[in-house]
Amino acid sequence: MPRDPRYDILFEPVKIGPKIARNRFYQVPHCNGMGHQHPSSLAAMRGVKAEGGWAVVSTEEVELHYSSDLSPFNEGRLWDDADIPYHSRVVEKIHEHGSLAAIELVYSSFHSINNYSREAPLSAICRPNDSYDPTYSHAMNKADIKAFRQWHRDAALRAKRCGYDLIYVYCGHNLTLQSHFLSRRYNDRTDEYGGSLENRVRLLRETLQDTLEAVGDTCAVPIRFAVDELLGSEGLSCENEARDVVEMLAEMPDLWDVNIADWDNDSQTSRFAESGYQEPFISFVKKITSKPVVGVGRYTSPDAMVKLIKSGVMDMIGAARPSIADPFLPKKIEEGRVEDIRECIGCNMCVVGDHQAVPMRCTQNPTMGEEWRRDWHPEKIAKKTSDSRILIVGAGPTGMEAAMALGQRGYEVMLAEATKELGGRVRHESRLPSLIQWGRVRDYREYQIRQLSNVEIYLDNQLAADDILTLDANHVAIATGSPWRRDGRGREHHHDIPGLDSNAIYTPDDIMQGATLTGDVLVYDDEHYYMGGVLAEKLCQDGANVTLVTPATDVSTFTHNSLEQHRIQKQLIEMGVTIITTHSIASVAADSVTLACTYTSREQQIAAQSVVLVTAMLPETAVFDALQSHSEQWADAGIKTVDCIGDAYAPGTIAAAVWSGHRYAREMDTENVTGVPFKRELIRLSSN
């Protein structure tokens, strides 16, 4: 289809210093859990972004010196010339598709623990590391400042040799040396680098000038700057000193990449922020500078993008998470296929991968992180190699993904769902407070499936093993999901919780299917992700007096990895939810629950007319087990394989469920692989 002319403005070229970006789509720097340890994966992933139409494709944070070591996190490194080859490979993959390659050099100051290098990081002042690690930074003297400026200049020159087109000066997210010098909280120096704003901005100005002089003849030099820390008078804000900084440096950089700080503000989940939430903070920048401005806001709508350009908020549409969910977002707009965009749901599963120091994953895009090691492409999939007919039992995220991908391969697919709606757990969970965007997982796949004439959907169709044996299917995938356990077993309890038959016991499934609870309700969260917190929120909204109990030290503790734990706990406190941490349920009685401290075993009793157990899920395998017991009939029925996939195989995140369905489709009719089923980055031993 031809491109909608309304979107022509998005495909105009943009001049960035000595470089020209072919359109207005800009993949801003984002971490990915690959970095220096997985360079082939990194290069392939960035190359796919360029292929997908992003005119500028940026790296993650790239450590410019060994005294700014972010281990164990897998960020980039450009410590010396030995790092050039893998960066050159990244650049080559980006240039292969006509895009500009940008590198974000970083010196993380006291944000660096330096567990690998064992060096003391440099900082404006001596202070503890900003984690709970017992390390300190070294207060920089004049010689240290001179050395840092040389390190940054050397790294910029190396980046130029790698072939990068844009070389960043990074002063964002409250994570860099330059931002720490700029901050009144972190800089109490009394020399020319402290005190007044003009003094505190000095190092940033010098770094910017050094970089322009070193590489600005052929490379663009953007600045990444956080214009608001959301701390009021305690921090930089668009109403005070941040605006002054932009005015001071307005025409120096070749581009302004602006956002808010910290990272958990910049990358808020859809549970707490709408698309475009940064606009009120960054909109002033374009009024001050004539240089191009790029910003982010989890944009997936081309109409919203056009509005941003025409209203003068941005010159380029920045994206991290939307470019992960759909690396081909620009191409789809350009080709008139807006309805095919795989929209980001704002769950921050991508961030989880970085925090866990592994290649990132994405709920919407199961190929993310697999571009090199499994040769998975987000828009290309091998055609079928047989005329096999496939039956998928269960149309949750796993079943829908498998049906869609198998259909795209050309297989004849039957998708049977026991209920009257598609979506499974996604359908239910997206109706919980603030999780509506998660419904995009279902919506995208339903639309794609309905375009495929070779995929048949059978709703309100609860199949038994005997039914399946009559359906002329060659392969059967059981994707029946996992209901929540009602016995309390989970991480903390390995046996049934005593006394459950004496009280009103509910599971998340009950609440999501409409159970209404009043009075004193205890939510017991031994799952530690989002479910316990979001159910407590819903029950409180419904009028119950809610107490949330967890064996962990804080609420929804896994969500530290998705940058939202503090927001979840704050919201629950403000709603009036009573929170009891480091306690488990010892026993349940009528109208009360006995809790035990996880450290001392001391008990306390609290009132509860209802108990909601958020402990663990248990795979629903009844159909699979029945088919296994009839395996002698498979050959006569034409069945070659029966597999459990997704939550029916092993419960997990929605991202894991989608990935499982996609893997099943990719591996259909392929030979069984012996050994490791994916490529690995192997380190060659040094001769020393």
Q: How many CA atoms lie within 13 A of 389 on its CB side?
A: 10
Spatial CA neighbour of 123 closest among 107, 105, 106, 134: 107
Q: Exactly one of 86, 107, 164, 170 is catalytic; name it.
A: 170
Q: Are 364 and 343 spatial neighbours (Cβ–Cβ below 8 Å)? A: yes
Stretch (H or E) spanning 649: none
Count the residues in the chain.
688
510 vs 505: CA distance, rounded Å: 9
SS (H, E, C) 132-148: CCCCECEECCHHHHHHH
Q: Are 469 and 639 spatial neighbours (Cβ–Cβ below 8 Å)? A: yes
Confirm whether 495 is a catalytic residue.
no
Confirm whether 266 is a catalytic residue.
yes
Confirm whether 344 is a catalytic residue.
no
Query: Considering all CA atoms of the chain, what is the largest pairwise distance in Å, rounded to the nearest integer?
Result: 86
150 vs 142: CA distance, rounded Å: 13
Q: Exactly one of 173, 493, 528, 583 is catalytic; name it.
A: 173
Q: Are 512 and 435 spatial neighbours (Cβ–Cβ below 8 Å)? A: no
Q: How many CA atoms lie within 13 A of 262 on its CB side?
A: 9
461 vs 606: CA distance, rounded Å: 44
**CB-based contacts of 559: which residues, under 8 Å, 6+ apart?**
529, 530, 533, 565, 568
User: Hey, what are 380's tokens?
Assistant: 């290309």
298 vs 317: CA distance, rounded Å: 10
Residue 570 DSSP label = H
13 vs 683: CA distance, rounded Å: 41
Residue 220 DSSP label = B
Stretch (H or E) spanning 622: helix 622-629
Q: Exactly one of 254, 262, 266, 525 is catalytic; name it.
A: 266
Cβ-based neighbour number of residue 603 at 10 Å: 12
Confirm whether 31 is a catalytic residue.
yes
The pair phi, psi for residue 184, each rounded to 5°, is -70, -25
User: Hey, what are 177's tokens?
Assistant: 């040396």
Stretch (H or E) spanning 573: helix 565-575
595 vs 200: CA distance, rounded Å: 52
Spatial CA neighbour of 621 closest among 428, 424, 465, 459: 465
| Residues tagged active-site | 31, 170, 173, 266
